[in-house]
Structure 1
Amino acid sequence: MSNKYFNIKDTLYDITEKYNEAIELLVSLGFSNLKDENMRKVFGKSISLEEALKLKKINVEIFVAELVDKIKKNEDKLSIKKDTVKISGVLPCPVRVPLTEAFEEWLADKNLNLDYELKAASMGIDWLKDTLINQSKEELPDIFISAGFDLFFDKKLFGKYKAENIFEDITDIEQYNDDFHNEYIKLEDPNKQYSIIGVVPAVFLVNEKELKGRQMPSSWEDILKKEFQNSVSLPVGDFDLFNAILLNIYKNYGEDGVKKLGRCLQRSMHPSEMVKSHIKKYDKPVVTIMPYFFTKMIKKGEPMIPVWPKDGAIISPIFMLSKNEKKKALKPIVDFFASKEVGEILSHNGKFPSVNPKVNNMITKENKYMWLGWDYIKEHDISSLIKKCENIFNSAVKGDERV
């Protein structure tokens, strides 16, 4: 008795090696020794499927029909998965709704089989990490979108897939917006693996009334000065941006710079709190470091002065990773997220400057950006470096000079 999948004269080992479904079914029928890999090899190679079934007095025809049915069902599931484009990621909170609406409108007249989940950045990325840890390369989502460094450069998560070159920048943008391709910064991935669609810049918001004789800070170096100890509010809860700040401070000022950053911390606030911090009665921060978007919330007449650091706003890039094995199916979706339309939603609605060369980010060319750099990323274990910086920072916050 044979079928297109197997012959009952084949050894038990050959069939179970080819079909996990056979192992599951045989174990359920009393072949518990097949759970052990070594036993399966020894016992399975010495007996045919037909002989094994007769040994247990199991009806061969009924078994074959049930096994073939299980194999077919799993093939159908895999076929559906193969044709489905899966997208996972997080979008910056201020633009998640307009971006999702634009995407769904774009999808309306497309015949695409999609499974997508684009959550708000405030939900965090632990759910994405779980996806990476528990799934095989084949089961991974086809497109990932997220800001920050800790997810895409963790050697235990994306690092293993990056090494296998399964991601490719297929946006066709040869040169990014002039804001991100100039003498100070070149944001394009030279290895053409990571796409970037925009950035989240960190700027200062200074309470002029609380300066009390101190000079207006104009750079990251100023923030680290002794006079600003215990006077700065940092976006500690915004992991993407805060990690970018830690990494850039470490790169430019070393461990001592991270310690100084820790000592300057007064408290961590949500950006919406930061812009209203001047109305607090006590413990008003002199400087708040926040995403550029929230400077839009400042009202006229308030003492809050936005300052774009002269050495550059530290940026947390919004990355997009696409599987190259599905390049043809993914191309129209990737083109949408890299488009001028999406770029303008990011830039104009959210103050998250776009890399699309056709978008006017409406930010003066004098305002520079501070970028960690692809060479630096390549030379360091970014995930481990983030943990190291966090430890130095937290110890400095607690006043532990043994750091």
Structure 2
Amino acid sequence: RRCRARTAAVPALPLLPSGKPDYPRVRTLVADGPPAQESAELIDLFADVLHLDPAHISTDATFVDLGGNSLSYVTMSVRLERALGHLPADWPRLPIRELERRPGPRPRWWRSWGTTLETSVALRALAIVLVVCSHAELFEMWGGAHILLGIAGYNFARFCLTPLSRPERFRHLRTTIAWIALPAVAWVAFALVVTDDYHLSNLLLANKFLGPHDSMTAGRLWFVEVLVWTLIGLTLLFWLPVADRLERRAPFAVAAAFLAVGMALRYDVPGLGLGHDAWFTMLAFWFFAIGWAAGKATTALQRAIVTVVLIVGVHGYFGNSLREALVTTGLVLLIWLPTVRCPAVVALAAGAIAEASLYTYLTHFQVYPLFGSHRLYGVVASVVIGIALTAVVTQVRARMRDRRLTARDPARAPALR
């Protein structure tokens, strides 16, 4: 069992009439006082994950306030659970001060083992592994990318449409888009130099708009393209004051309205007649909208409505019962089950794989073919390279932050090193 000591500065130790320490009063003072040491440790943790200056982080700030997004929350959730010994369900919106004071869950027999892992993190890790395995033909279990699209919508609701001001929302959305688009463009540019896998339209993340639609690699980056252009469109929309105000007043209703639009696309109300190609175009937006509505659902009734729409929408969509069952199960878990318990080693592995999901998705098309018929090796190498690239990028960003801080205050250089 993990225990944490708390400290608080007080003018004098409370005493009983007998002169002995008043321990109940001492405990009250410690609980009410600022947890200086623990808050400092959490501030350092937030600064490390988000690459910020610890001196500029207030204990009243939340993960969302500090610019946390769907790409950084994986690392944050895993490390925060290890630091606190538990993971509050609403931790992204809790101030740092409150995170330290929030009591852990009441002891239950099923909590006597393992650690807490957010369901969205577990699903993200599982989905990217299924994507790589299916593409490498180790086995075929399609649907992982559509689960990832639903998770992206869920995280959009949690980390982009926040109570922050409209300019701050806009800044966070721009950052999220950049975190996805820039690595994608950089990798496509590299692949264009060393292979003939892509076209210039892929460099613009616009193959679905510009073609060629009949090339062997036309659909490889469809998930990234759909996600980036969806985020760009929604960013421009919610920059409008009227749209911003409406979403703040009725967040679930707005999400449900976009889900209705998505369902109209799902049933091809515009009459585009794309058939199976619609699975990999902007018409797959309705999976994103499902996650968005799930992220804004605050009551059991709202979650039930989203679940019914999901089940109805997926039924018959792919024409493959296994694929439909996989996507439905994954997104139902996302809607109803915030966290899961698992062995600590599984949580660490899932966190690493989920955090690297973007880089794994981008690079695995060029990695697994190198192993020919050794498909398992190709899958493992794809995941490992994705994790390694993520670690390199994280380290580079950390060094860039340290250089910025050193430039502002050279006296801090030894501490940063």
TM-score of the superposed pair, with normalisation by structure 1: 0.28
**Larger of the two Rg values belongs to structure:** 1
Q: Which one has a larger percent strand, Structure 1 or Structure 2?
A: 1
Q: Which one has a larger percent helix, Structure 1 or Structure 2?
A: 2
TM-score of the superposed pair, with normalisation by structure 2: 0.27
